[in-house]
Amino acid sequence: AQTKITIGYTGANTFVPAFVAKDKGFFAKNGLDVTLTRIPVGSTIPGALMANSLTVGTLTAPVFLAANDNGIELVIIAGASLQSKANPTAGVVAKTGSAIQKPADFVGKKVGAPGVNGLQDILFKKWLKNHNVDWKQVTFVDAPFPQMGAMIQGGQLDAALPVEPFVGRIVGTKAGYLVANYPVEVSDNYLESFYAVSKKWAQGNAAAIKGFRAALTEAVAFAKSNPDEAKKTQITYLGLPPEVVAALPLATFTVDVQPAQVAFWLDMSREFGLVKTALKTDDLVAK
Amino acid sequence: MTLRRLLLGLVFPVALLAAWEVSVRAGLLSEDVFSRISRIVPALLEGLADGTIVARTYETLAAALFGWAIAAAIGIPLGLVLGLVRPLERLTLVTIEALRPVPSAALIPIVLLIFGFSLELDATVAAFACLWPVLIVTTGAVRGIEPRLLEVGRALGYGALARIWHFALPAALPGIAVGLRVAFGIAIVVAVTVEIAANPRGLGYAMITAQQSLRAEVMYAYLFWIGLVGWLINVAMIRAERHWLRWYWAARGAA
Amino acid sequence: MKAAWLAASVAFAAALVALWQVAADHGLVSRVFFPAPSRAFDFLGEWAASGELWGPLAGTIWRTLAGWLGATLLGVALGAAIASSAVTRDLFEPTVEFLRPMPSSAMIPPAILLLGLTDGMVVAVVVFGSIWPILLGAIHGFRSVEPRLMELARTLRMGRMHRLASIALPNALPEIFAGMRVSLAIALIITVVAEMLSSRPGLGQMILFAARNFRSAEIFAGVFLLGALGYFFNAVLERAERHFLRWRPAVGNG
Amino acid sequence: MAQPIFAFRDVSVRFGATPILDKVGFDVAPEEFLCLVGPSGCGKTTLLRVAAGLIRPQEGRAEFEGRAVAEPTPELAIVFQDYSRALLPWRTVAGNVELALEARGAPRAGRAAEVKRLLGIIGLADHAQKFPLQLSGGMQQRVQIARALAQRPRILLMDEPFGSLDAMTRQALQDEIARLCKAERQTVVFVTHDLEEAIYLGDRVVALEANPGRVVEIVEIALPRPRDQLTTREHPRFLEYRHRLFGHLAKKEAE
Amino acid sequence: MAQPIFAFRDVSVRFGATPILDKVGFDVAPEEFLCLVGPSGCGKTTLLRVAAGLIRPQEGRAEFEGRAVAEPTPELAIVFQDYSRALLPWRTVAGNVELALEARGAPRAGRAAEVKRLLGIIGLADHAQKFPLQLSGGMQQRVQIARALAQRPRILLMDEPFGSLDAMTRQALQDEIARLCKAERQTVVFVTHDLEEAIYLGDRVVALEANPGRVVEIVEIALPRPRDQLTTREHPRFLEYRHRLFGHLAKKEAE
Ligand SMILES: Nc1ncnc2c1ncn2[C@@H]1O[C@H](COP(=O)(O)OP(=O)(O)OP(=O)(O)O)[C@@H](O)[C@H]1O
Ligand SMILES: Nc1ncnc2c1ncn2[C@@H]1O[C@H](COP(=O)(O)OP(=O)(O)OP(=O)(O)O)[C@@H](O)[C@H]1O
Ligand SMILES: [Mg+2]
Ligand SMILES: [Mg+2]
């Protein structure tokens, strides 16, 4: 019998393999009956996993670690994407005419981040720190990706931390310019996003997890050889207009996750005071 | 006369919509942000034709109705008790006054942990928000019951329970009905809010995903639709109220 | 007598919190859902001590009050205009009737598009959401002037302004106040929701951050604070109302 | 006098520390039409409420057929002074009258006919389906009278039932009530502050003074029946009674 | 009779198709106390509103000093029948009286003293700082009278001003108003449905019949002044007037 699972995903293009796996029947082939649900606010996913309204949720490390730190026990079952120098999809964009060129120029400026203490926010702080800039002298403002361009143009922000396609859009309209792909300067090929489940579910569903990974592996391979067809899944699952989809490059996909990749995040979260309890990376990744 | 009123009533909205369309076309307003009427209307019709809007509406209304019913089921009996037993009302005053202004949205994360994404999530948060108006209005209505009426009941030899049923409840009903109507409006607002902030179902969810997917015309289509639904429900409830409480409205109309 | 009841009422509320505390201490309720209230109070103390609390608290208060006062002024002015003649009524009433049941939270996404993530956006949504009770109260209040009083004004040959100041406005005042009372609670709620969705620094955002990090105790700290704030707002307004409407017989509120 | 059917025995009532009634005592004979007059606020309503069992006096007691009245009983019907509050606004005129029939468990079949008969008597047959709030004050008062009659009480207690009527309707109803009560041999206690009404209607008039309420005089009215609005009121004895009672009341008022 | 100060000239009023007043015409002499009686609904209030300029008759006109009354004027003060609606509830007793002084532009300095004087006349000096809703009906009515006097009107129009008072207060105020108006040589048109009040107060009594309102009789009251509640009402001529007017009114009522 098929195992029924519901995957909750956010509006990012890093989950294309899951769309492909669903459309191409790779999930079904691996014994999974999958429903895909789009979740507008990513931080609600851990709660939904706990309450069993989702079986699998797409997450970034800060949210995942914060949940575990506060007693919501989740484990990673598969990776989704890496951020690599070869294919950087995130950067810091400054307002045209602002003369921001290097890390030190951000002091005293207002920077828009999607979710304070979120993924971009932490990486950017780390980047500043690596360049010996005190991130506490930078003002961070919560700003969703779609609004960043308008907020820069309107003078509410001096800079922002968008991902694609918003980086391209902002640069394209000449509202701002790319200063640096700071995430990949912090670390190359780090784990950017992944699929997680509640620990309880993971304990009873080893076979399903295996099948899930197999399906994704197949989907990643398919996407590599048929990038255009893979891209098109975003029209259905992300509701993006076709012209946007065509211009958008695919992310760097991954499936296997090693505890060391999580350790990178755990250390950084501890550094910024986001994790306070004694979490162990071995407990955070499903076997 | 009524035609004149209809036309006058249309002047303002029509002028607004026309100004909207024209300024977008003339490039005064960004189409990304404002979309325009000539895109929004087809988006609305398409959503209605393929059934997605209907399905989303059903989800929101079902949740709002459920939450509202819970609030009524708790609020009316509790209000009756607090209204009839004065010391109890005084004892709970501070508690109620402090809970009442708590924004129900603040409870979303907690309720999410309990119920996950579900009808119950919308409904629980909506029930919390609706409970207060129902409770307060019922208490007030019961306390405002003419004491003479309860004496009539005694003089005619009715027992305590029969007096509540035959005298107290009907007398409080117009007040309770207003409370219920206001509460249902709140239930819809809250359901939509929860959907925008967390719950991936219903009209609020459709709106926020449209916004995130850069589909301004779809977002505005939903906005108009939500306005229309809210308006229709309000009209329907006023009608129902006037029908069921004819005795009350007959006199108001005559006065 | 009154003070005694107030004390009893406060004690009752405190007893409920204590009950919760005991349940949490004995693990009768989930630590994740309902953390001990003492932990929430600890957070409040911490925030107050570190000064982290005051900025957001002030932000929420100012946005709530700005939106609410804006709604009051606009509502009364619009109400006077709509009530003043049949033409203005016919012109605006259908639009008002259509907009009124519109869920104010649904206005947040377009408002973000139009006004960005600014205080102006929050205040605008608050005005939109909280104007209706005041507007309806004002329309009804202005319209319901006792015809006998209007006849009196004619007999005494009172001028337009004298009539407005001496008859129409005082007549509408009770309903305007009633509307303002309802609106204040709405304004606070919408401010918080709008802060959550737009991440303006305020209590809503604090709760949002707490929620993002799954810190229930901090969420409840915010909830307690909002409850207290709402209670305080209401108490102040009630005072004002009692002063301005002292001509009305006390409504069994003793 | 015949064996009394009803009696007040040294009734004293205080509200808080203020004495309202002070040792009021008198009898009511079977089939008697007894009128109670006194200045406003002297305690007429309070005394009637004691009679109906709605208030327990601090001292003394009301006796009905020799037993103390402790609780309201359908055998004593009361027509309240504030008529607009004593009707169920959600029931029609007919429904309000029927309430008394329901209360005394009258068989369902005969009720409609009985209601019709009673409404005929008080001249509201054409208004059976209206709601109380659609009626003028005088009409509402008449509905209350019909409801009291429907109770088939042993004693009818009326509290200024005609206070709100215009002169003509008032006089017509005075005659109608007098005729009806004599025909049905109804015992009546009738409160009014209109001296002339009391003399016109009563077999006896009990005059109360105020602060505290005390019986100052009891006058036997020896005017022939049936009485007539013109001739009775011009009868020398009528003027004499009026003169005598007026002295008491005006004197008390002036102090 | 002296040159009339005021006159109705064939006044006819219809509401919709229903004729209410039909060619009503009579004069009012300077300093006269004229009473208007008639059954309820005969159009007394309507006629008084025509006099005040609040209603324009379909035919005929009201004349004040020979000129048609087209608009309300402060020279004609009206005391409304529904007193509870005719006061500003948000102004104190003193504030309500002062309104008339404000309106006629009386100098600010003298107002307080004038208000005090007027409140003394109507016996409310001790209640100057109370709000209307804290007063009994009779007291509210007296505030209205004080306000009308503050207008310093040429003619005082009063619509059943004592209808809601208890018998004693009523009689006291009747005497007070009679004394005051004669002392101040005030012209008065006084509406009542109480025949005896009309005879007791009036220099002349105009009787109206109903459906439509028409003058049926005008009686010159030749009773000596000052009048007295006991002796005047027992005066043979008083009974004669009463008998005569009663015939008209009762007959019309019965039809
Ligand atoms: N519930 C109460 N609490 C305190 N005082 C009361 C209450 N009910 C009545 N009184 C007082 O008792 C006195 C008698 O009132 P009651 O209503 O019996 O007078 P009444 O003779 O019926 O007057 P009226 O002719 O105006 O109806 C009044 O002074 C009144 O103020
Ligand atoms: N605005 C109106 N529209 C229609 N009919 C009216 C209006 N005002 C009064 N009427 C009718 O006109 C008639 C006369 O009313 P009016 O108030 O003048 O009587 P009244 O003699 O003052 O009666 P009362 O003694 O009860 O005060 C009544 O039948 C009433 O129903
Ligand atoms: Mg009484
Ligand atoms: Mg009248």
Tell how strand E155-159 and strand E187-191 pair up.
parallel
CA-based nearest distance B196→chain A, Å: 8
Q: Is E40 on the interface with D (CB under 8 A)?
A: yes
Find, among A250, A70, A96, the residue nearest to A173 by Cα. A96
Would you say C35 and C214 are in contact if contact means Cβ atoms under 8 Å apart? no
Q: Do chains D and A touch (3 or more CB pairs under 8 A)?
A: no
d(CA E191, CA E162): 10
Instruction: For ligand 2, say whether the CB of E17 is within 6 Å of any of its atoms.
Output: no
Give the model's pLDDT for residue E251: 53
**Section D227-240 average pLDDT:** 89
Give the model's pLDDT for residue D251: 54
CA-based radius of gyration for chain E = 18
C-beta atoms of B156 and D103 within 8 A: yes
Q: What is the DSSP letter of B166?
A: I
CA-based radius of gyration for chain A = 19
Q: What residues have CB less than 8 Å from C19, skipping those under 6 apart?
A: none
Instruction: For ligand 1, say whether the CB of D82 is within 6 Å of any of its atoms.
Output: no
β-sheet bridge partners, residue E34 = E189, E204
C-beta atoms of C117 and A69 within 8 A: no
Would you say B205 and B220 are in contact if contact means Cβ atoms under 8 Å apart? no
Ion ligand 3 residue ranges (Cβ < 5 Å): D 45, 81
Give the model's pLDDT for residue B251: 59
Across all residues in chain B, what is the average pLDDT?
A: 86
Give the model's pLDDT for residue D202: 95
Give the model's pLDDT for residue A221: 92
Instruction: For ligand 1, say whether the CB of D21 is within 6 Å of any of its atoms.
Output: no
C-beta atoms of C146 and E91 within 8 A: no
Tell how strand E6-15 and strand E59-64 pair up.
antiparallel
Give the model's pLDDT for residue B28: 78
Ion ligand 4 residue ranges (Cβ < 5 Å): E 45, 81
CA-based nearest distance A127→chain C, Å: 23
CB atoms within 10 A of CB B11: 14
**Section D77-98 average pLDDT:** 88
Q: Is the pLDDT of residue B254 over 70?
A: no
Would you say E206 and E37 are in contact if contact means Cβ atoms under 8 Å apart? yes
pLDDT confidence bin for C253, thresholds 50/70/90:
very low
Give the model's pLDDT for residue B250: 67
- Looking at per-residue pLDDT, the higher value among B29 and D79 belongs to D79
Q: Is the pLDDT of residue D95 over 60?
A: yes
B109 neighbourhood in chain C, CB within 8 Å: 207, 210-211, 214, 216, 219
Q: Of the given ranges (B95-109, E83-97, E116-130), which has the lowest mean pLDDT? A: B95-109
C-beta atoms of E166 and D230 within 8 A: no
Give the model's pLDDT for residue E219: 94
Element counts in chain D: helices (H) and strands (E): 9, 10
Across all residues in chain D, what is the average pLDDT?
A: 88
Q: What one-character-per-residue DSSP string does B112-132 give?
A: HHHH-SSHHHHHHHHHHHHHH
Instruction: For ligand 1, say whether the CB of D41 is within 6 Å of any of its atoms.
Output: yes
Find, among E154, C62, D105, the residue nearest to C54 by Cα. C62
Helix (H, G, I), strand (E, B) or coil at D62: strand
d(CA B227, CA D9): 69
CA-based nearest distance A47→chain B, Å: 5
| Closest partner CB to B170 (pick from D71, D90, D132) | D90
Q: What one-character-per-residue DSSP string does B199-223 give?
A: -SSHHHHHHHHHHHTT-HHHHHHHH
C-beta atoms of C213 and A70 within 8 A: yes
Domains, in order of start, for chain B: 49-254 (1.10.3720.10)
Give the model's pLDDT for residue D2: 63
d(CA A77, CA A91): 28
- Looking at per-residue pLDDT, the higher value among C232 and A146 belongs to C232
End-to-end CA gap in chain D:
35
Distance (Å) from CA D48 to ligand 3 centroid? 9
pLDDT confidence bin for D173, thresholds 50/70/90:
confident
Instruction: For ligand 2, say whether the CB of E40 is within 6 Å of any of its atoms.
Output: yes
d(CA E51, CA C175): 35
| A275-281 long-range Cβ contacts below 8 angstroms, 24+ apart | A275/A65, A275/A66, A275/A69, A276/A69, A277/A69, A279/A65, A279/A68, A279/A69
Q: Is A38 on the interface with B (CB under 8 A)?
A: yes
C-beta atoms of D195 and E167 within 8 A: yes
Give the model's pLDDT for residue C254: 30
Q: What is the DSSP letter of D44?
A: H
Distance (Å) from CA C71 to ligand 3 centroid? 47
Q: Is C96 on the interface with B (CB under 8 A)?
A: no
Distance (Å) from CA D193 to ligand 3 centroid? 9
Element (H, E) at B252: helix B246-254
- The interface predicted TM-score of the complex, written ipTM, equals 0.74
β-sheet bridge partners, residue A267 = none
**Chain segment B29-59, per-residue pLDDT in tens:** 777 777 888 889 999 999 999 989 999 999 9
pLDDT confidence bin for D250, thresholds 50/70/90:
low
d(CA C239, CA C246): 10
Query: Of the residues D8, D11, D45, which should be mutated to test ligand 1's pocket, given the most ligand atoms within 8 Å of the CB?
Result: D45
Q: What residues have CB less than 8 Å from C48, skipping those under 6 apart?
A: C54
Give the model's pLDDT for residue D217: 92
Residue B204's closest chain A neighbor by CA? A40
Residue nearest atom 7 of ligand 1, based on CA coordinates = D15
Residue A75 phi/psi, 5-degree rounding, is -130, 150
Q: Is the pLDDT of residue B16 over 60?
A: yes
Q: What one-character-per-residue DSSP string does C116-172 give?
A: -SSHHHHHHHHHHHHHHHHHHHHHHHHHT--HHHHHHHHHTT--HHHHIIIIIHHHH
d(CA B102, CA A51): 24
Across all residues in chain C, what is the average pLDDT?
A: 85
Residues 191-210 of D with CB under 8 A from E: 193-195
D59-64: strand order across its sheet: D18-28, D6-15, D59-64, D67-68
d(CA A103, CA A88): 18
C-beta atoms of E193 and D239 within 8 A: no
* CA distances from residue D41 to B50, D21, D192 in whole angstroms, order as listed: 74, 11, 12
Q: Is the pLDDT of residue C103 over 80?
A: no
Q: Is A251 on the interface with B (CB under 8 A)?
A: no
d(CA E7, CA E26): 6
Q: Of the given ranges (A113-117, C193-197, C217-221), which has the lowest mean pLDDT? A: A113-117
Query: Of the residues D13, D20, D162, D252, which should be mutated to test ligand 1's pocket, given the most ligand atoms within 8 Å of the CB?
Result: D20
**Section B120-138 average pLDDT:** 91
d(CA D215, CA A191): 99
Q: Of the given ranges (C69-83, E41-55, E74-88, E155-169), which has the lowest mean pLDDT? A: E155-169
pLDDT confidence bin for E255, thresholds 50/70/90:
very low
Q: What residues have CB less than 8 Å from D193, skipping those under 6 apart?
A: D37, D38, D39, D40, D44, D160, D163, E166, E167, E168
CA-based nearest distance D196→chain B, Å: 29
Q: Of the given ranges (B147-151, C11-15, E119-123), which has the lowest mean pLDDT? A: B147-151
Q: Is the pLDDT of residue D253 over 70?
A: no
Find, among A71, C32, A73, the residue nearest to B113 by Cα. C32
C-beta atoms of D88 and B146 within 8 A: no
pLDDT confidence bin for C251, thresholds 50/70/90:
very low
Distance (Å) from CA E180 to ligand 1 centroid? 32
Instruction: Count how many residues are written for chain D.
Output: 255
Dihedral (CA of A107, A113, A117, A120) sign: negative
Q: Is E249 on the interface with D (CB under 8 A)?
A: yes
Distance (Å) from CA E22 to ligand 2 centroid? 14
Instruction: For ligand 1, say whether the CB of D193 is within 6 Å of any of its atoms.
Output: yes
pLDDT confidence bin for C218, thresholds 50/70/90:
confident
Chain centre to alpha carbon of residue A11: 10
Query: How many CA atoms does the CB half-sphere of B83 hold within 13 Å?
Result: 27
| Closest partner CB to B198 (pick from A41, A150, A241) | A41
- Ligand 2: which atom is nearest the Cα of residue E81? 27
d(CA C21, CA C39): 9
**Chain segment C134-144, per-residue pLDDT in tens:** 998 898 888 88
**Section D222-236 average pLDDT:** 89
The CA-based dihedral angle spanning residues C134, C140, C142, C145, taken in that order and rounded to the nearest 10 degrees? -140
Give the model's pLDDT for residue B58: 95
Q: Do chains B and E touch (3 or more CB pairs under 8 A)?
A: no
Q: Is the pLDDT of residue D52 over 60?
A: yes
Q: Is the pLDDT of residue B1 over 70?
A: no
Single-letter residue type at D52:
A
Give the model's pLDDT for residue A118: 82
Would you say C115 and C121 are in contact if contact means Cβ atoms under 8 Å apart? yes
Instruction: For ligand 2, say whether the CB of E15 is within 6 Å of any of its atoms.
Output: yes
pLDDT tens-place values along chain A, 287 residues long: 788 999 999 877 889 999 999 999 999 999 999 999 888 888 889 888 988 889 999 998 888 998 888 888 899 999 999 888 888 888 999 998 888 888 888 888 889 888 777 888 899 999 999 999 998 888 888 787 877 887 888 777 899 999 887 888 888 888 889 999 999 888 888 898 999 999 999 998 889 999 999 999 999 999 989 988 888 898 888 887 888 788 778 888 988 888 888 889 998 888 888 888 888 888 888 87
Give the model's pLDDT for residue C1: 59
pLDDT > 90 in chain C, percent: 20
pLDDT confidence bin for C175, thresholds 50/70/90:
confident
**Section E137-152 average pLDDT:** 89
β-sheet bridge partners, residue D213 = D21
